[in-house]
Each structure stands twice: as structure tokens, then as C-alpha cells.
């Protein structure tokens, strides 16, 4: 049995209380590893190691910090296959997806911020004959990074890399549901020669290991990605301590499909945006709104596409849908399928748990599921399901589509499908959504601000926004 360890002060260490949690493989339901069930004592050791490492790390020239981050990126690329297999085993996602998306993106996160730190300049505001004002951006200090289970290494590194690049030391906690690649990352950090204590990875549950991070007075900022309820709890705990907060939370994203779109492309991409990673991406579009004149042709082609999404062993190349991340999450998603039926939804596809044979007989598989006939304000259309379940609905006017699209408490991402340039911009500006894709989905340029409006979060990650988040600006004025 694989025993994962914490990474504290440059060492791989057991939790001080000696307690471990079972970690099952979603595709089989079998426990394949045990992870540290860390507590406040382990977090305290991690914070102490980070504080000890901080003075030297923050003074290291940005190029040298960057070189180390680029080295970690290279090691991730070298180990791509091993990491992809581990991510798939831990999360249930098809290994092909981890190989094409999760692991390459984790490598890019380190390469991007390793080099970005070298181009991150402070501002100077010169008032001729009066004053010179300049801004120093100090690293914040020791920061906490907490991430979810859906894109484990991808999101973990998306926080850690900019924090390290900005000169901060980090205490990080991956999701207890998918800890494996974070553990492998700690091995790669040791191999890369990252100085001891600069990055510390503490495994464990939210209440056990996460809570002591958000409460710790020496931790100056929390960068969190996860559910809106957890984000609210973190804000309630950390805000009165005046910690800086970046909260990337849930979504209930709309796809707006207008009659003048490229229908084939809109269908193809909507299939991906609905069901990639079994619908467990915060950016997945789960409410598909289609202009009435093309509603039937869209539906027909979309359902034909859904029929081709093979649910199977994540290790097999032909599997398009892997397992959901846990039995508990599968039950939650299935409860929404029941709710959709109670709310009057017509089931167009899926709706059932999938029972596979052999190795995967105990896995958490679900058919990709499509409903229509649900009102825009019912719970199925307002609450985040975070699984392979989408609703289709026709609309008649742009105003109606916008009212529906904006009618939830969330505002993370949206897609618009149209060939009308004016409409594309007009609708994009009217959407209450931090990210809008026009005729595409999940196109990511790491320089762009990433984050949500309304209950989808506070603050933005990505590019200069992330480097600014992890620094404290100090304005200095010299009288001339
Ligand atoms: P979650 O909120 O249950 O857990 C996220 C992390 O927070 C885990 O590491 C967990 O252990 C930790 N945590 C839980 N309680 C804590 C506490 N009291 N103190 C400190 N840490 C605590 O979320 P999840 O179920 O892992 O992830 C799914 C959610 O994440 C969905 O809502 C999804 O939309 C959201 N998400 C958002 C984005 C985004 O960028 N906006 C990206 C991916 C996922």
C-alpha cells in the first residue's frame, strides 16, 4: 500500500500523530493509498519551516527563483506519463485527459510564473519638479494555498507557482480526495533543489489540516479554490484577521447558442464543455440555452454526440468518460438527477449509474445525462451539480437568454456561439460572468485574469493579477 508523506522543511515526513486516511481509486472503489491525516501540529511545523526559509527566499533574485521554478516544470514534463497515470488513478479521469491537459498545464504553470517573475516591474509615477512616486512590491510572506479535487495538480500548481515566483513561502494543502500528484510534486521539488521550507505540503482533511492553515496568524494570505460554502467559511475565519483572500468558487455556467452560429462547432464544443472530466470542471457549461429556430437540430446532434461518449475504465484509450471522484459525490450528482425529474424535467439521455465489469466493477461511473423542459429558476438550473448533467432550453430573444444566463447566484464563466460580431460583444458585456468565451471554450492564456463574479469568488488569479495578489504594495514618495 502506498503511504504518502507530508513535505515539510524540505523533508518527506509522517504526520506527527501517526494517523492516516484511506484513499480509494474512483474507478475501482479500492483503497490504493493512505494519506497523512495531519493536524494543527503538522501545520505549525510547516509554518515554522516557511518562516525560516522566507528571509533568504525573498532576497533571492527573481531570475534564480525563476530558474528553480522552470526546473520543476521540466521535471514535471519529464515525468508526464507517470504523473498522468497517478492523476487518473487518484481522480478517476481518463488518463488521456490527464496526459493532454492536467499535467502539461501543471508544467506550464511553473514555467509561466518562473519567467513572469522576471518581467514583473514596479510602477513609477513622476511629477515633474514636484515628486517621484514609486511602488515597491514586497512578497507578502508566508501564504496558504488550498485546492480542490477536480483538477488536482493543475490547480495546486496554479496557486503555488505565482506565490513562489513573487518571493513568498508556501504552506499548501491539496484536496484529501486527490493527494497523489501533490505528493509526487514534493519529490520533484526535492530533486529540483528547491530550498528547504520554501514550499511545504501538508495533507489532510479540511477541518483537520485546512482549518489550522486559515486560522494561523503568521499566514498572510489564503489562495483558495473550492466550493462556495467552504469559501464563505474561509472568508468568515480569515477576513477578521485581515488576511488577503483570493477565492475561486463554484459556477453554474450558461452556453448561449444563437441561430447564426457554426452549429457543428457549437455542438462539438458544447459536448466537451458539458462532459469533460465527467462535468467536474468549474468552467463546464451546465445550462445550454439554444435559440428556438435551431433548438431541434442542435438537440438531435448533441444527443447523437452524447451517445458516443463511452463510459469506461479511465486507463483505456477509448473511454471518453471516466469515474466520478467519489461514492459520496456520485450520490450527490444522482440526487440532482432525481430532483430534476421531480421538478418536471424530461430525461433525454443517461440518468443511470453505470456498472462496469472486471477491474472497474466497484467504480463510481455515471451516464452523461441531459434534461430538457426545466424552468430557468428551478433548483436544477440554479444549483451547482458538478457532474455530467446538463439541461437544454430554447429561448426566443437575446434579452430572454441574458435574463436566464444571469439568473443564478454564480458568475464564473459563459460561452456565446454566434457569427454576429456586434452581438457577441454586446452579450459578452451584459453577462455577469468573470470569463466569457466566444465561439470557443476553455481557451486559456495564462496572462488573462481568471476568476468569477458574484458567489463564484473574490479576486482574480493569472498573470500579473496573481503576482500582485502575493505581494504587498508600498508607495514611496520623494519630494524633488
Ligand atoms: P471543497 O470546498 O469541499 O474543498 C476544497 C479544499 O478546501 C479541499 O482541499 C478541502 O480539504 C479544503 N477545506 C475544506 N474545509 C476547509 C476548512 N474549514 N478550512 C480550510 N480548508 C478547507 O471543494 P471540492 O469539493 O474539493 O471542489 C469542488 C468545488 O470547487 C466546486 O464547487 C467547484 O466549482 C469548485 N472549483 C472552483 C474553481 C474555480 O476556479 N472557480 C476551480 C475548480 C473547482
ipTM above 0.95 for this complex? yes
Radius of gyration of the chain (CA): 23
Q: Is 158 in the pocket of ligand 1 (CB under 6 A)?
A: no
pLDDT tens for residues 426-461? 999 999 999 999 999 999 999 999 999 999 999 999
Q: Is 211 in the pocket of ligand 1 (CB under 6 A)?
A: yes
Give the integer Cα–Cα distance in Å for 427 and 29: 44
Sheet of strand 285-291, all strands in order from the earlier edge strand to the far edge: 346-349, 369-372, 389-395, 285-291, 253-257, 413-417, 435-438
Second-level CATH architecture of 2-249+456-479: 3-Layer(aba) Sandwich (3.40)
Is 145 an active-site residue?
A: no
Nearest Cα neighbor of 164 from 185, 148, 179 is 185
Atom of ligand 1 nearest to the CA of 148: 26
Helix (H, G, I), strand (E, B) or coil at 95: helix
Domain 253-445 has CATH 3.40.309.10: yes
* 205 Cα to the center of ligand 1, angstroms: 11
For 193, the grid coordinates are: 533543489
For 24, the grid coordinates are: 480509494
Q: What pLDDT, on a 0 to 100 scale, did the predictor assign at position 70?
A: 98
Chain region(s) in the chain for CATH 3.40.309.10: 253-445
Residues of the chain with pLDDT under 70: none
Nearest Cα neighbor of 284 from 151, 394, 176, 189 is 151
Query: What is the best residue among 154, 156, 230 to mutate for testing ligand 1's pocket, by most ligand atoms within 8 Å of CB?
Result: 230
Give the integer Cα–Cα distance in Å for 439 and 415: 7
* 148 Cα to the center of ligand 1, angstroms: 4
For 373, the grid coordinates are: 423542459
| Dihedral angle of Cα 253, 254, 260, 266, to the nearest 10 degrees | 50
Is 282 an active-site residue?
A: yes
* 249 Cα to the center of ligand 1, angstroms: 7
Chain region(s) in the chain for CATH 3.40.605.10: 2-249+456-479
* 145 Cα to the center of ligand 1, angstroms: 11
60's CB contacts (< 8 A; 6+ apart) are 167
Q: At what angle do helices 152-165 and 103-116 cross, to 10 degrees?
A: 10
Q: Is 149 in the pocket of ligand 1 (CB under 6 A)?
A: yes
Q: Is 176 in the pocket of ligand 1 (CB under 6 A)?
A: yes
* 248 Cα to the center of ligand 1, angstroms: 9
Q: Is the alpha carbon torsion for 369, 372, 376, 380 positive or negative?
A: negative
| Dihedral angle of Cα 305, 308, 314, 316, to the nearest 10 degrees | -130
Nearest CA to ligand 1 atom 43: 282
289 forms beta bridges with 256, 393
* 146 Cα to the center of ligand 1, angstroms: 8
Q: What pLDDT, on a 0 to 100 scale, did the predictor assign at position 266?
A: 98
For 258, the grid coordinates are: 444563437
Q: What pLDDT, on a 0 to 100 scale, did the predictor assign at position 121?
A: 84
Give the integer Cα–Cα distance in Å for 364 and 370: 19
DSSP state of 461: B
Catalytic residue, from 87, 248, 291, 461: name it: 248
Query: What is the best residue among 226, 243, 386, 449 to mutate for testing ligand 1's pocket, by most ligand atoms within 8 Å of CB?
Result: 226
Nearest CA to ligand 1 atom 31: 227
Query: What is the best residue among 38, 148, 156 to mutate for testing ligand 1's pocket, by most ligand atoms within 8 Å of CB?
Result: 148
339's CB contacts (< 8 A; 6+ apart) are 379, 380
Q: Is the alpha carbon torsion for 322, 326, 329, 334 positive or negative?
A: positive
Strand 169-173 vs strand 199-201: parallel, antiparallel, or unpaired? parallel
For 168, the grid coordinates are: 513568498
Per-residue exposure over 104-126, b if at least 16 CB sit within 10 Å of its own CB, e if not: bbbbbbbbbbbbbbeebeeeeee
Atom of ligand 1 nearest to the CA of 231: 2
Amino acid at each position: 500500500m502506498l503511504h504518502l508523506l507530508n513535505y515539510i522543511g524540505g523533508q518527506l515526513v509522517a504526520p506527527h500523530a501517526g494517523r492516516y486516511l484511506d484513499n480509494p481509486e474512483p474507478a475501482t472503489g479500492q483503497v490504493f493509498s493512505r494519506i497523512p491525516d495531519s493536524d494543527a501540529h503538522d501545520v505549525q511545523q510547516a509554518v515554522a519551516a516557511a518562516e525560516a526559509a522566507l528571509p533568504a527566499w525573498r532576497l533571492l533574485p527573481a531570475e534564480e527563483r525563476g530558474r528553480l521554478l522552470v526546473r520543476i516544470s521540466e521535471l514535471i514534463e519529464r515525468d508526464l506519463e507517470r504523473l498522468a497515470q497517478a492523476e487518473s488513478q487518484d481522480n478517476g479521469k481518463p488518463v488521456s485527459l490527464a496526459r493532454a491537459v492536467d499535467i502539461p498545464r501543471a508544467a506550464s504553470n511553473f514555467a509561466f510564473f518562473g519567467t513572469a517573475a522576471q518581467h514583473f516591474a514596479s510602477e513609477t509615477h513622476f511629477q515633474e519638479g514636484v515628486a517621484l512616486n514609486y511602488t515597491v512590491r514586497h512578497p507578502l510572506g508566508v501564504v496558504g494555498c488550498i485546492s480542490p479535487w477536480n483538477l488536482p495538480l493543475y490547480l495546486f500548481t496554479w496557486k503555488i507557482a505565482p506565490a513562489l515566483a513573487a518571493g513568498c513561502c508556501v504552506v499548501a494543502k491539496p484536496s484529501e480526495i486527490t493527494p497523489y500528484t501533490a505528493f509526487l510534486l514534493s519529490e520533484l521539488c526535492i530533486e529540483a533543489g528547491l530550498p528547504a521550507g520554501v514550499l511545504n505540503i501538508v495533507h489532510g482533511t479540511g477541518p483537520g489540516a485546512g482549518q489550522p492553515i486559515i486560522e494561523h496568524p503568521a499566514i498572510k494570505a489564503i489562495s483558495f479554490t473550492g466550493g462556495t460554502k467552504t469559501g464563505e467559511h474561509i472568508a468568515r475565519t480569515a477576513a477578521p484577521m485581515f488576511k488577503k483572500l483570493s477565492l475561486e468558487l463554484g459556477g453554474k455556467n450558461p452556453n448561449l447558442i444563437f441561430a447564426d452560429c457554426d452549429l457543428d462547432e457549437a455542438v462539438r464544443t458544447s459536448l466537451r464543455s458539458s462532459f469533460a472530466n465527467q462535468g467536474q470542471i468549474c468552467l463546464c457549461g451546465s445550462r445550454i440555452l439554444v435559440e428556438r429556430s435551431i433548438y431541434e437540430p442542435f438537440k438531435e446532434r448533441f444527443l447523437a454526440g452524447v451517445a458516443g461518449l463511452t463510459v469506461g475504465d479511465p486507463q483505456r484509450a477509448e473511454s471518453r468518460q471516466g469515474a466520478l471522484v467519489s461514492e459520496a459525490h456520485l450520490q450527490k450528482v444522482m440526487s440532482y438527477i432525481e430532483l430534476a425529474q421531480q421538478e418536471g424535467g424530461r430525461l433525454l439521455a443517461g440518468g443511470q449509474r453505470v456498472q462496469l465489469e472486471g477491474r472497474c466493477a466497484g467504480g463510481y461511473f455515471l451516464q452523461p445525462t441531459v434534461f430538457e423542459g426545466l424552468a430557468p429558476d428551478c433548483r436544477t438550473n440554479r444549483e451547482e451539480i458538478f457532474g455530467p448533467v446538463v439541461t437544454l432550453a430554447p429561448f426566443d430573444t437575446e434579452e430572454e437568454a441574458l435574463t436566464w444566463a444571469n439568473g443564478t447566484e454564480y458568475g464564473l464563466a459563459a460561452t456565446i456561439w454566434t457569427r454576429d460580431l456586434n452581438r457577441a460583444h454586446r452579450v459578452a458585456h451584459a453577462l455577469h460572468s468573470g470569463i466569457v468565451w466566444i465561439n470557443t471554450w476553455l481557451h486559456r492564456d495564462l496572462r488573462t485574469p481568471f476568476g468569477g463574479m458574484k458567489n463564484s469568488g473574490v479576486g482574480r488569479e493569472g498573470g500579473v493579477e496573481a503576482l500582485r495578489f502575493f505581494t504587498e504594495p508600498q508607495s514611496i514618495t520623494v519630494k524633488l
